[in-house]
Amino acid sequence: MFTKIKSHFKRLWSAAPVATTVLIVALAASAVFGVRSAVFWWKAPPWAERRQEIAAWMTPRYVARSWGLPPRELAEAISAPIPPPDGPMSLEELAAFRGVQIEQVIAEARAAIAAFHAQKKRN
């Protein structure tokens, strides 16, 4: 079997050495990046560990998607305008828009997340 592969490789090399080199490099790169990708996904933390602590730079949609609740439900809980007047707003911009402290908006978001997940557990 190895002799068949060797003769096939020799035939490819004699017909097009540059194309054969490019093919080998592309196959090697595909193998390396494929293995890296598989290892990354295999060792990825569970979904619950990927949830980031709520920060002022996040948008309400980002928080909602990260914590697994409908974006509109979170937006209603934190009194976010739908749609935002000038495009996506961070929580910090939302707090300034509403005229409240950022801590209040974050607390409202945490309460909405807790209520959603508590209701989800009951059902």
Long-range contacts of 50-58 (CB under 8 A, 24+ apart): 54/91, 54/106, 54/109, 54/110, 55/91, 56/90, 56/91, 56/92, 56/95, 56/102, 56/106, 57/90, 57/91, 57/92, 58/90, 58/91
Q: Could you report the per-residue pLDDT of 40-85, keeping only the tens digit for each?
A: 888 776 665 567 888 999 999 889 988 888 989 999 999 888 777 7
Q: Could you report the per-residue pLDDT of 96-113, keeping only the tens digit for each?
A: 998 999 999 999 999 999
Where along the chain do its domains lie? 2-42, 47-122
Q: Compute the distance between CA of residue 101 and CA of residue 1 in angstroms, rounded to an integer.
A: 73
Q: Compute the distance between CA of residue 19 and CA of residue 25 in angstroms, rounded to an integer.
A: 10
